[in-house]
């Protein structure tokens, strides 16, 4: 009686081994599902004598394989494609893009250029994924996610001419500060603010909006120069401010807030050489058998085991893998087509989640945007193609991969229905609006419509389409699939609050492993208790 938690755990460890300690820690809430991903530390011998089959070799499957083999499980990983990584997919010269219903494209980029067809940026708060990059020795570099030299463009604003992001940000801020400052001076906010706060707010607004001493906005050097400061008498002269109505008419004005989202920080990260360097890192570390071209056809579980039948897509043979547990990371829309003896409600939950749409189009191009002082970042154009994304790597080299379309959601669905040549022509046309004359510089287009990519057939589930938002996803199917189903554990980014981020795959996989570890520890502890009682 009266012993501390630490000494209790110490004694338990001495009696029941690492597994019992781990289970008790989970029960005490010390190792509950992590609120944020850190390095996992499953006890080394936890999985000894136990086996797991992992379905799908995306980030979730790779995290599961890496951690479970470290914990002593016998691991088999089954992946339908001839490569690992799943949505983490980098295209280079010679890569093939197979899409259902389309002619296969072969990428013809210059040497050294690449296009991250799926994930392309990692925010600083995705500590789980960044942790694996660090542990697996995957070098990172800065991904410049926002450039104030890039543009916002809208047909009905500024005569159809693009507006530089810095002007969009700072002219808007100037006008809003002026309006608020006027309202304050006229006493319109006397009910809402104390005299003392009003007194403090006025000078702040002057600084915030770069207003003159009368509280008027007359333009600011923050929006850029009409004449840059130079030598001797070349004085700096700021640009004329754009009329407020032109800013308000710009449908992309909200994109001036893009980098204020935590997910879209101005400075993000990318693996040097392409996002699939993370996959290569896992591949170097994992020693368990990894079966590629292994398309899972059927999952059947009995009280004692789970059997997974798969087809070797090269040899045409069919094999069955047996294990104590299955970790199933297949996208739900794909899993819906796999035979199983899952309970009816589970099957219904899997089949009921619609998938979203997303498209990317990349070109090989000379770096004309750098002549416009754009080094990385994004121009926002809206519509079907949504944005133009400039490369952060290879600055000042001859050529770069310009992403001339990255759109998701309803507009992306319609865009993907267009013939590929039409998609390319539209993306080219967008570049012409932002960088007139340079559309002809674009070569070697690579089009990825995720709704047509085999073994994904969509970029992520449309949980949000049912009224939920990333970070706030919750519905009965989501909850059900997040529970173990007998010996089967569903896992993957789609079962996290970030279905569109690799961090979601990491967090979901780690949670799944914690659940399996707890179950194993409990059964070990029960076995020992029975043995000592006998
Ligand atoms: C366009 C786009 C942009 C994105 N941008 C970002 C970003 O910038 N940053 C970021 O962090 N994340 C981003 N993401 C999200 C990120 O890619 C995913 O959240 C993450 O990679 C999902 O990992 P997963 O393991 O859960 O699923 P997946 O990667 O889909 O893995 C599932 C695996 O199952 C395999 N499989 C399917 N069917 C079978 C079968 N029958 N038998 C065997 N195997 C099968 C698939 O081939 C695949 O390898 C983006 C995704 C897309 C599509």
Average pLDDT of adjacent 10-residue blocks, the chain of 534 residues: 38 44 43 57 92 98 98 98 98 98 98 98 97 98 98 97 98 98 96 97 98 97 97 97 98 98 96 98 97 98 97 98 98 98 98 95 98 98 98 98 97 98 98 98 98 98 74 93 98 97 98 97 90 87
Rounded distance between C-alpha atoms, residue 72 and residue 44, angstroms: 6
Nearest atom, ligand 1, residue 501 CA: 12
The predicted pLDDT at position 41 comes to 83
Distance 324 CA to ligand 1 centre (A): 25
Q: Which domains does the chain have, with CATH numbers?
A: 5-85+277-354+460-533 (3.50.50.60), 90-150+265-274+356-452 (3.90.660.10), 166-242 (1.20.1440.240)
Distance 17 CA to ligand 1 centre (A): 37
Residue whose CA is at the smallest distance from ligand 1 atom 5: 119
Bridge partners of 387, per DSSP, are: 380
| Residue whose CB lies within 8 A of the most ligand 1 atoms, among 98, 378, 460, 502, for a mutation test | 502
The predicted pLDDT at position 269 comes to 98
Helices (H) and strands (E) in the chain, counts: 14, 24
**Cα separations (Å) of 497 from 21, 90, 167?**
30, 24, 35
Distance 430 CA to ligand 1 centre (A): 28
Residues with CB under 6 A from ligand 1: 55-61, 78-81, 86-88, 118-122, 294-296, 329-331, 334, 338, 358, 360, 450, 455-456, 459, 492-493, 500-505
Rounded distance between C-alpha atoms, residue 386 and residue 410, angstroms: 12
The predicted pLDDT at position 463 comes to 84
Residue whose CA is at the smallest distance from ligand 1 atom 53: 459
Distance 86 CA to ligand 1 centre (A): 5
Distance 471 CA to ligand 1 centre (A): 18
The predicted pLDDT at position 525 comes to 87
Nearest atom, ligand 1, residue 505 CA: 26
**Residue 438, token pair as written in the block:** 């340079």
Half-sphere exposure of 501 (CA within 13 A, CB side): 23
Nearest atom, ligand 1, residue 459 CA: 53
Strands (E), 228-357: 237-238, 267-271, 290-291, 294-301, 306-312, 318-323, 325-328, 339-340
Hey, CA dihedral for 461, 467, 473, 477, is it positive or negative?
Answer: negative
Nearest atom, ligand 1, residue 493 CA: 26
Name the pTM for this structure: 0.93
Tell me which H or E stretch contains 335: helix 332-335
Nearest atom, ligand 1, residue 84 CA: 49
Tell me which H or E stretch contains 498: none
The predicted pLDDT at position 464 comes to 64
Nearest atom, ligand 1, residue 498 CA: 19
The predicted pLDDT at position 323 comes to 98
Half-sphere exposure of 508 (CA within 13 A, CB side): 32
Hey, CA dihedral for 452, 457, 459, 462, is it positive or negative?
Answer: positive
| Residue whose CB lies within 8 A of the most ligand 1 atoms, among 501, 506, 508, 512, for a mutation test | 501
The predicted pLDDT at position 44 comes to 86
The predicted pLDDT at position 229 comes to 97
The predicted pLDDT at position 372 comes to 97
| Residue whose CB lies within 8 A of the most ligand 1 atoms, among 86, 265, 454, for a mutation test | 86
């Amino acid at each position: 009686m009266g012993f501390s938690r630490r000494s209790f755990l110490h004694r338990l460890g001495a009696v029941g081994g690492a597994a019992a300690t781990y289970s008790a820690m989970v029960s005490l809430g010390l190792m509950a599902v992590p609120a944020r991903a850190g390095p996992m530390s499953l006890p080394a011998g936890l999985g000894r004598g136990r086996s797991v089959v992992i379905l799908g070799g995306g980030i979730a499957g790779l995290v599961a394989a890496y951690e479970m083999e470290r914990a002593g499980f016998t691991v088999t990983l089954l992946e339908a494609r001839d490569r690992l990584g799943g949505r983490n997919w980098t295209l280079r010269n010679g890569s093939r893009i197979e899409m259902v219903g389309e002619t296969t494209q072969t990428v013809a980029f210059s040497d050294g250029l690449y296009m991250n067809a799926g994930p392309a940026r990692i925010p600083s708060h995705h500590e789980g994924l960044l942790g694996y990059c660090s542990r697996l020795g995957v070098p990172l570099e800065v991904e410049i996610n926002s450039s104030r030299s890039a543009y916002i463009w809208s047909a009905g604003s500024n005569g159809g001419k693009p507006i530089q992001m810095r002007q969009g940000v700072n002219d808007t801020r100037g006008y809003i500060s002026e309006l608020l400052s006027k309202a304050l001076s006229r006493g319109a906010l006397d009910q809402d603010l104390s005299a003392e706060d009003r007194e403090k707010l006025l000078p702040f607004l002057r600084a915030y909006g770069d207003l003159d001493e009368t509280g008027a906005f007359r333009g600011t050097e923050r929006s850029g120069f009409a004449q840059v400061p130079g030598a001797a008498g070349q004085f700096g002269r700021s640009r004329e401010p754009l009329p407020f109505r032109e800013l308000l008419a710009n449908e992309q004005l909200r994109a001036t807030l893009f980098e204020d989202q935590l997910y879209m920080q101005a400075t993000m990260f990318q693996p040097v050489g392409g996002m699939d360097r993370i996959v290569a890192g896992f591949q170097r570390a994992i020693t368990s058998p990894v079966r590629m071209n292994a398309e899972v056809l059927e999952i059947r579980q009995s009280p004692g085991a789970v059997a997974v039948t798969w087809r070797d897509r090269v040899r045409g043979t069919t094999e069955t893998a047996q294990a104590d547990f299955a970790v199933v990371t297949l996208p739900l829309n794909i899993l819906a087509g796999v035979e199983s003896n899952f309970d009816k409600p589970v099957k219904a939950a899997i089949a009921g989640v619609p998938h979203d749409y997303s498209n990317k189009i990349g070109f090989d191009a000379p770096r004309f945007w750098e002549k416009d002082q754009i080094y990385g970042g994004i121009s926002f154009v809206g519509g079907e193609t949504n944005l133009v994304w400039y490369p952060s790597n290879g600055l000042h080299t001859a050529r770069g991969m310009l992403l001339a379309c990255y759109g998701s959601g309803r507009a992306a669905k319609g865009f993907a229905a267009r013939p590929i040549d039409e998609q390319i022509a539209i993306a080219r046309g967008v570049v012409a609006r932002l960088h007139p004359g340079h559309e002809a510089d674009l070569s070697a287009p690579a089009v990825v419509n995720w709704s047509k990519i085999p073994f994904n057939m969509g970029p992520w589930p449309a949980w949000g389409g049912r009224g939920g938002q990333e970070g706030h996803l919750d519905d009965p199917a989501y909850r059900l699939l997040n529970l173990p189903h007998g010996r089967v554990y569903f896992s993957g980014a789609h079962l996290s609050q970030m279905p569109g981020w690799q961090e979601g795959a990491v967090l979901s996989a780690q949670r799944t492993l914690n659940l399996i570890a707890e179950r194993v520890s409990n059964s070990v502890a029960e076995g020992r208790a029975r043995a000592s009682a006998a």
